[in-house]
Amino acid sequence: MAEHQVGDYVKGKKFGSFEHDFEGEIEKIYENSVLIHILSYNDEDRILVGELNNRAIVRKADAEPLKAKAE
């Protein structure tokens, strides 16, 4: 599995109160998780995303790479 990098565009699996998966850009990398700036989400999760200030921390295993950071 390739290492996550800041700037990678990933798909985050739904968790907690999320009803659907979401997509966004990695802002920070921790030991076992990543901070995702949520950029694309289902409208049903709009209020939750707003309460989270468009950010979520997810396990690295639950952040599926979609597009690597442009070099």
pLDDT tens digit at each of 71 positions of the chain: 468 999 999 999 999 889 999 999 999 999 999 999 999 999 999 999 999 999 999 999 999 998 776 55
The pLDDT value given to residue 69: 67
User: What per-residue confidence (pLDDT) applies to 1?
Assistant: 46
pLDDT at 39: 96
pTM listed for this prediction = 0.88
Contacts by 29-34, CB closer than 8 A, 24 or more apart: 29/4, 29/5, 30/57, 32/59, 32/60, 33/57, 33/58, 33/59, 33/60, 34/4, 34/10, 34/58, 34/60, 34/63
Quote the pLDDT of residue 3: 87
